[in-house]
Homo-oligomer: A and B are copies of this chain.
């Protein structure tokens, strides 16, 4: 199945970049949960384009209209649906791309898969714009998780060649989380923005790494094997366009460690069981251990660049130079930060709803 996610909740995302609208349906949510619409809009604004000079100049209104599922400020048990209208529909900018696929985009793979019937305008269903409905669902889940004492925050640890430090593995501080360019320090943000400006000046783009922490997650969440937290997070995170890597805890670095270094010793602290290190990112056997959950994702550089690139003509079956028109983000990493938080929130909330262990002997 394509654009559907979840076990106990079912998230269905629809829309194309230039169709009449995009949106989402979120089914299986308990009734009686409050939704703070002001806070939700603030969250969506973090993803919105056009906020500064390293993001696209296009202006999109990402204000969702809720059609159902929320009644007088609370979930009512019916599926929650929300729609964002697309203002620029069916623009002619993309017609040439049907014959000449953009490198690094899904133009070619969609062409083959759908036999030429796909909606190519603006990238169609593969557009980064489809992360807006994901943020609607995730923004609500974040609110419900907060009510349970679970906080999710992400920041940027790399842009191109600029690398900065990550979270403390045992005590992540979410201080600057939630800002437009979240990094641990303001200096890091500045250096990264310069890196983006350099790429832009070169008619090029850069990618980066986002690190995310889930704090307050109790021990015992997640299922064995394919239902583990890592599996569930991975499935939704790889649904975000441009994600090419994902690691938990020490991740790839753990491959270079000895077992004695990588194993997290247990300790008792203030009457609670903790681990002295957190190489495992708080997940063992797919199940949480009560420490802060940590993961990092790699975001590739924006494929739409100003420079001329080598493509092909599908009709002529010959190579052809391509210059992509329009203005595009030289770096989508900052706007991807809330999307990562949203995806994590949906996955974690679904795991909570799916936890049959808590249903053991009650109705």
What is the copy number of this chain in the assembly? 4
A37-45, A52-60, A171-179, A199-207: which lies at the interface? A199-207
A108 near B259 (CB under 8 angstroms)? no
Give complex CA distance A239, B232 in Å: 10
Chain A stretch 230-289: residues in CB contact (< 8 A) with chain B: 230-232, 234-239, 241, 243-268, 271, 273, 275-276, 279-281, 283-289
Chain A stretch 99-123: residues in CB contact (< 8 A) with chain B: 101, 103-106, 108-110, 112-119
| A360: B residues at CB distance < 8 A | 30-33
B263 near A115 (CB under 8 angstroms)? no
Chain A stretch 29-82: residues in CB contact (< 8 A) with chain B: 29-33, 65-69, 71, 74-81
Chain A stretch 336-363: residues in CB contact (< 8 A) with chain B: 352-363
Q: Which residue of B lies closest to A229 (CB)?
A: B238
| A183: B residues at CB distance < 8 A | none
A204 near B29 (CB under 8 angstroms)? no
Chain A stretch 7-35: residues in CB contact (< 8 A) with chain B: 7-10, 12-16, 19-23, 25, 27-33
What's the minimum C-beta distance from A280 to chain B, rounded to whole angstroms? 7
15 residue pairs A–B, Cβ–Cβ below 8 Å: A1-B227, A15-B78, A16-B71, A28-B356, A32-B117, A77-B125, A104-B259, A109-B289, A148-B363, A158-B256, A231-B234, A244-B251, A254-B298, A262-B303, A263-B303
